[in-house]
């Protein structure tokens, strides 16, 4: 494929992409960019992102096996990131249920990685369903890991704050 052909191919894929996918992309990008700077966060807001990621995954998987696999991976990953926290540093902020999250690029990288994985599998589903069916379990596992990461971190923050109060 020539350079011109590659550009044409990419533009066609972008045009074919449903509008709602771009809204999800903008939300994930915006959320990732917000995480670059240190900020105070109201704790319930930390549950919004994991719930969105869970919703996206459950919406895109219809088989009972996919849902069961996703739930198991989500549970294991949530437990691991809850029990053994890594990544973003934080401290308790002034006010009830508020924490100060220090800026990091990791959230942006993780969210964009999630989007790329979901976009790739969405493309495969639309254009090469046989290949998608063979590899779908990997999408479910990867999505469970991403969702569990954010849910586990949020629960870890809640646990830390409740111990301090």
Q: Is residue 153 part of a domain?
A: yes
Query: Is there a domain that residue 6 lies in?
Result: no
How many Cα neighbours within 13 Å face the side chain of 155? 17
pLDDT at 119: 92
Instruction: Note the pLDDT of residue 133.
Output: 87
Enter the pTM of the model.
Answer: 0.81
Q: Tell me if 1 is assigned to some domain.
A: no
Q: What is the pLDDT of residue 151?
A: 94
Q: Give the length of the chain.
A: 165
pLDDT band, residue 1 (cuts 50/70/90): low
How many domains are there within the chain?
1
In a domain, 14, yes or no: no
CA distance 20 to 32: 18
Assign 76 a pLDDT band (cuts: 50, 70, 90).
very high
87 within domain boundaries: yes
Q: What is the mean pLDDT of the chain?
A: 88
When pLDDT is cut at 50, 70 and 90, the band that residue 53 belongs to is confident
The range of the structural domain enclosing residue 52 comes to 19-164
Secondary structure percentages of the chain, helix, strand, coil, to 5:
75, 5, 15
Report if residue 120 sits inside a domain. yes
Asked if residue 136 belongs to a domain, the reply is yes
């Amino acid at each position: 494929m020539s350079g011109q052909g590659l550009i044409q191919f990419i533009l066609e894929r972008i045009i074919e992409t449903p509008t709602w996918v771009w809204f999800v992309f903008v939300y994930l990008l915006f959320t990732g960019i917000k995480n670059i700077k240190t900020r105070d966060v109201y704790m319930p807001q930390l549950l919004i992102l994991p719930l969105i990621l869970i919703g996206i995954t459950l919406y895109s998987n219809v088989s009972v096996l996919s849902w069961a696999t996703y739930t198991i991976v989500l549970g294991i990953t949530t437990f691991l990131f809850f029990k053994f926290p890594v990544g973003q540093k934080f401290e308790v902020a002034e006010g009830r249920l508020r924490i100060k999250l220090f800026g990091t690029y990791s959230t942006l990288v993780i969210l964009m990685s999630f989007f790329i994985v979901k976009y790739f599998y969405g493309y495969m589903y639309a254009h090469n369903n046989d290949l998608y069916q063979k590899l779908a379990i990997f999408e479910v596992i990867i999505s469970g890991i991403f969702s569990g990461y954010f849910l586990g971190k949020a629960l870890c923050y809640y646990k830390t704050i409740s111990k301090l109060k």
